Every structure is written in C-alpha cells, then in structure tokens.
Amino acid sequence: MISHDQREALIQAASAARQQAYAPYSHYQVGAAILAEDGRIFTGCNVENSSYGLSMCAERTAVFKMVSEGGRRIQAVAVCTENGGSPCGACRQVLTEFADDIPVWLIDAAGNCYETTLYILLPHHFGPEHLVQ
C-alpha cells in the first residue's frame, strides 16, 4: 500500500524531473519517478537525440537508474507531461519486468492527476513466464 505522503513525493519528483528533460526536437518534456520496493525514489527525464531512435524515454531512464543502483522491484510510478500523456508501449513493457499491477499516476503541467494501473495500461504483457525454458 502506498501512503499519501509517498504518492505526493512521487508526483513532485516526476514534476521536478520533467524540468530536466532534453527535448529540443519534440518539445514534449516528460518526467518520471519510480517508488522502489525499498522506499527509494528514482527519477528520469526524456533525453532526445537528433538521431531520433537513440532517444530515451523518462520512464525507462528511471527504471535503468533504479536497477543500476540495486533496485529490483517497483511499487508505483508517476509520469508528468504537458497534457497527462501515458507511457509508450516500450516503457510499459519495461515497467512490467520489474513490477506487478502497480499504481500509475499521470500528471499534467497544471497538476491534474489521473490514477490508473500498469496492467490497465498493458493488460496482456509479455513476461518471463512466457519464455520457453
């Protein structure tokens, strides 16, 4: 269960991370914050590249940061964009590698917040249980 204080800290962290985004091509700044199982918050922002395929989304930046610092399980995610957009398919799939059906908060620039879950965003995800051993 995520406390009100944890939720608010996660939303604030995602909003602050959005300010660090490097988005000179799309001008679509995204910030993400992940609450790890141990209570730490990891943030990420989108980083674009003139070779568009080399760009990285905020959500995956936060996940990779968590993993590189020893985290393995996600309890909740907050994503902040101008219009409250949700994570792309690739980010949804990466999130499912490290989480079950967790809360996801989508925040717009005005501070409006929409709550959903990871499995609502990606109901039939592919996971390790689908790999042939």
Q: Are 55 and 85 in contact (CB under 8 A)?
A: no
> Is-catalytic flag, 97?
no
In sequence order, what E strands does the chain have? 31-36, 41-45, 74-80, 103-107, 113-117
**Residues near 15 by Cβ (< 8 Å), separated by ≥ 6?**
31, 80, 107, 111
- At residue 113, what are phi and psi to the nearest 5 degrees? -130, 130
28 three-state secondary structure = coil
Which one of the listed residues 59, 69, 82, 129 is annotated catalytic? 59
CA distance 80 to 15: 5
Return the active site residues: 59
